[in-house]
Amino acid sequence: MHSDASDRVYVHSHGLCESDRVGAGTRVWAFAHIMAGAIVGRDCNICDHAYVEGGVTIGDRVTIKNSVLLFDGVTIEDDVFVGPAVVFTNDLRPRTAIKRSTDELLPTVVRAGASLGAGVVVVCGLTIGPCAFVGAGAVITRDVPAHGFVVGNPGRLIGWACECGKRLGDKLICECGHAYEEAADGLVKIR
């Protein structure tokens, strides 16, 4: 059996990967730090200066851009894009004098196919729905529905996004051919 670069994990000479649970084809770039205990899927791109704490789970084909901070309790599902300088929190009441156990931290989930623009801040304990699109600089303080298009501080739902990433018009039909209808937790694809 022959092995090529796509079967291995690439860690830049100035990157630090302490986890033994990183999938094949994943690339860890300069000054990125993946701590022991973190789970990172296949074919991910962990860019310069990203920090991934030990209690983080990252799915397959995820892009974590430069200077992203992922703390214990964050789960990123497959095919998610996390833009530069996105910050996830995990403690609603941080105090230096109080050391909370991992069980006391609030988990955050980013569902498959979602995109978070540069500089987004995600307050802990929330779920960002599948194929949601969060605009640059937004502060997420509540759950984002499936295909939700969210901007601002605090983040507010201003429309809907197709799985291709384009903003949907009022008819919820994208020029790529996909069509949607509203459901209790966001949009569902009907074609």
| pLDDT at residue 101, as a whole number | 86
Alpha carbon distance, N-terminus to C-terminus of the chain: 41
Please give the model's pTM, rounded to 2 decimal places: 0.95
| pLDDT at residue 103, as a whole number | 86
User: Looking up tokens 């200066």, which residue turns up?
Assistant: 49
Q: What angle do CA 155, 57, 91 make, to 5 degrees?
A: 50
User: Any residues with CB less than 8 A from the CB of 181 and at least 6 apart, and which?
Assistant: 172, 187, 188, 190
Nearest residue to 88 via CA among 130, 113, 55: 55
- Mean pLDDT, consecutive 10-residue stretches, the chain (191 aa), reads 69 98 98 98 98 98 98 98 98 92 92 98 98 98 98 98 97 97 96 93
- 103 SS3 class: helix
Nearest residue to 86 via CA among 53, 123, 111: 123
Superfamily of domain 5-189: Hexapeptide repeat proteins (2.160.10.10)
Q: Where are the domains of the chain?
A: 5-189
| pLDDT at residue 102, as a whole number | 84
